[in-house]
């Protein structure tokens, strides 16, 4: 362990792929580094010891104001489909990679989001604002607390530098950490440009470093796709079960490792609305909560298309046709895999011994029709199972306009819970139904306070959301139903 960013066990990592994959460049310094907030659990995972954040040099590196000695920073190139339309070349428009760190048996890529322009910034300024940076820092760490695969956030630093969005805001940088930031879009880029040797190098790199058990497979690229499909089916099932809406599920925001990637206009659902759209730029609702599994499937088809030149190399049309049919069969399994994972997540939330698809569907429709607070309902249901008291049942029923509907559902549900095991089951349910999520109004309050120089609420939320299933009486205010004004909060891709 070390207190110095410079002294971490830096490796070549992604740089081994060669110049076709990235552009070396340095972050653009900001006029000042005003500190912010750090994640000690992430710091420990990459090899930093306690107190590392007290070294101003470390914070300057993570702001882009100081550079790692003899370590080339870089931005990567990728392409992708955005809102279902081929967008061509994209790339890291405001993310600059510091490199790859080894700690024990694990390796981590470290990148700065908001550290200045890159060759892939297009018309952007390469910066991120404090508002969106707080949201990304808190949500990536909240998702980790929920045990949902995600990129992590090591630090958030900020500056007095002005950044123009819908209004003038101030700049911030989030240090993001993940085993890899390789996206579906990286594969799409090289496939679309018919750079098949580079495409093969990328796939081989991913297999060697992240799916090493596939190296001896007879068809490693087909096996890679199969694993990526399964990982993403499991990921979106977890999102749906916890009520998380991403907002911008473009192919360039999809992780080859099945991680939650790129926190833009995300939201956890408050009042249940299956057609909920968290991104006000998404007028057609392509990325609505209900449509997320379908979009995952669509994006996986695009990845399969990008991998086809490796899975069926050469010009033999019969071989290509056979492999296309094989790919179709693999992709056809996604909806079934997703449904299996989703029903398992819901089984755990309800404390049942087996999946009860009809019961789950009936409940979800009840929650939707009555606009019941999703998180509050499931956490309150744990209390009903625990005590079966009139008071606990009343809390649940008061959430619904359709009192008869919820009463009938509760009768069917509670009949499946053995009374002699109720307390044990309730305790298990509390490990799958969070008491605390990053509600929009809490994030908004934290942002407004921080913009006025007070990061206290950011720190409190960060601490609370690391243990979202625990009671944490000191943070009980964060578990209350949101105020009416919370429904008016609107977020977009602008950050």
Classify 264 as helix, strand or coil.
Answer: coil
Q: Which is nearest to 101 in space by CA: 60, 45, 54?
A: 45
Beta strands in 83-190 (DSSP E): 85-89, 95-103, 106-113, 128-129, 152-164, 168-178
Whole-angstrom distance, CA of residue 454 vs CA of residue 439: 19
Question: CB count, 10 Å around CB of 106?
Answer: 11
Q: Which residue has the tokens 């969005």?
A: 165
Whole-angstrom distance, CA of residue 64 vs CA of residue 67: 7
Helix (H) or strand (E) holding 37: strand 36-38
Q: Which two tokens stand for residue 454?
A: 């007070």
Q: Which two tokens stand for residue 204?
A: 């081989």
Whole-angstrom distance, CA of residue 424 vs CA of residue 430: 10
- Strands 152-164 and 36-38, sheet pairing: antiparallel
- The 3 state secondary structure assigned to 2-36 is ECCCCCCCEECHHHHHCHHHEEECCCCCCCCCCCE
> Residues 6 or more apart from 454 whose CB is under 8 A from it?
none
DSSP state of 79: E
Active site residue 273: no
Whole-angstrom distance, CA of residue 72 vs CA of residue 19: 12
Q: Which is nearest to 61 in space by CA: 4, 9, 144, 11?
A: 4
Q: Per the residue annotation, which of 252, 282, 373, 383 is the catalytic one?
A: 252
Question: CB count, 10 Å around CB of 88?
Answer: 13
Q: Which residue has the tokens 């299933």?
A: 469
Burial class (CB in 10 A: 0-12, 13-18, 19+), 289: buried
Residues identified as active-site: 252
């Amino acid at each position: 362990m070390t207190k110095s960013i410079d002294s971490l066990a830096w490796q070549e990592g992604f740089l081994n792929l060669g110049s076709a994959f990235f552009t070396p460049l340095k972050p653009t310094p900001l006029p000042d580094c005003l500190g912010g907030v750090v994640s000690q659990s992430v710091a420990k995972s990459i090899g930093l010891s306690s107190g590392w954040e007290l070294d101003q040099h470390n914070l300057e590196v993570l702001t882009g104001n100081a550079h790692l000695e003899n370590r080339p920073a870089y931005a990567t190139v990728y392409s992708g489909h955005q809102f279902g339309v081929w967008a061509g070349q994209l790339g890291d428009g405001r993310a600059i990679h510091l490199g790859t760190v080894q700690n024990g048996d694990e390796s981590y890529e470290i990148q700065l989001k908001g550290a200045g322009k890159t060759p892939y910034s297009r018309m952007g300024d390469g910066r991120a604002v404090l508002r969106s940076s707080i949201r990304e820092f808190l949500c990536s760490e909240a998702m980790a607390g929920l045990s949902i695969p995600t990129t992590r956030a090591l630090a958030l630093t900020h500056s007095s530098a002005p950044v123009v969005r819908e209004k003038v805001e101030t700049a911030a940088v989030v240090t993001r950490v993940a085993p890899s930031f390789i996206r579906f879009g990286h594969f799409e880029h090289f496939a679309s440009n018919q750079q098949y040797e580079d495409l093969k190098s990328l796939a081989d790199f991913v297999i060697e470093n992240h799916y090493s058990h596939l190296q001896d497979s007879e068809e490693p690229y087909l096996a890679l796709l199969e694993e990526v499909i399964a990982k993403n089916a499991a990921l979106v099932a977890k999102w749906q079960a916890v009520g998380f809406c991403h907002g911008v599920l473009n192919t360039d925001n999809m992780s080859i490792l099945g991680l939650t990637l790129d926190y833009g206009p995300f939201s956890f659902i408050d009042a249940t609305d299956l057609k909920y759209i968290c991104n006000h730029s998404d007028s057609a609702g392509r990325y609505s909560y209900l449509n997320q599994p379908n979009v995952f499937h669509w994006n996986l088809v695009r990845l399969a298309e990008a991998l086809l030149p490796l899975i069926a190399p050469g010009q033999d049309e019969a071989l290509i046709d056979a492999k296309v049919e094989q790919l179709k069969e693999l992709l056809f399994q996604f909806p079934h895999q997703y449904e299996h994972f989703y029903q398992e997540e819901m089984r755990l939330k309800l404390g049942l011994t087996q999946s009860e698809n009809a019961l789950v569907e009936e409940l979800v429709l009840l929650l939707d029709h009555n606009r019941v607070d999703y998180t509050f309902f499931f956490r309150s249901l744990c209390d009903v199972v625990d005590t079966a008291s009139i008071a606990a049942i009343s809390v649940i029923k008061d959430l619904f306009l359709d009192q008869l509907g919820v009463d009938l559902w509760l009768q069917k549900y509670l009949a499946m819970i053995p009374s002699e095991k109720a307390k044990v089951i309730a305790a298990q349910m509390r490990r799958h139904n969070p008491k605390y999520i990053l509600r929009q109004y809490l994030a908004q309050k934290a942002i407004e306070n921080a913009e006025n120089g007070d990061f206290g609420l950011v720190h409190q939320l960060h601490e609370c959301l690391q243990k979202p299933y625990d009671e944490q009486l000191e943070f009980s205010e964060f578990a209350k139903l949101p105020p009416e004004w919370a429904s008016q909060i609107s977020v977009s891709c602008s950050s």
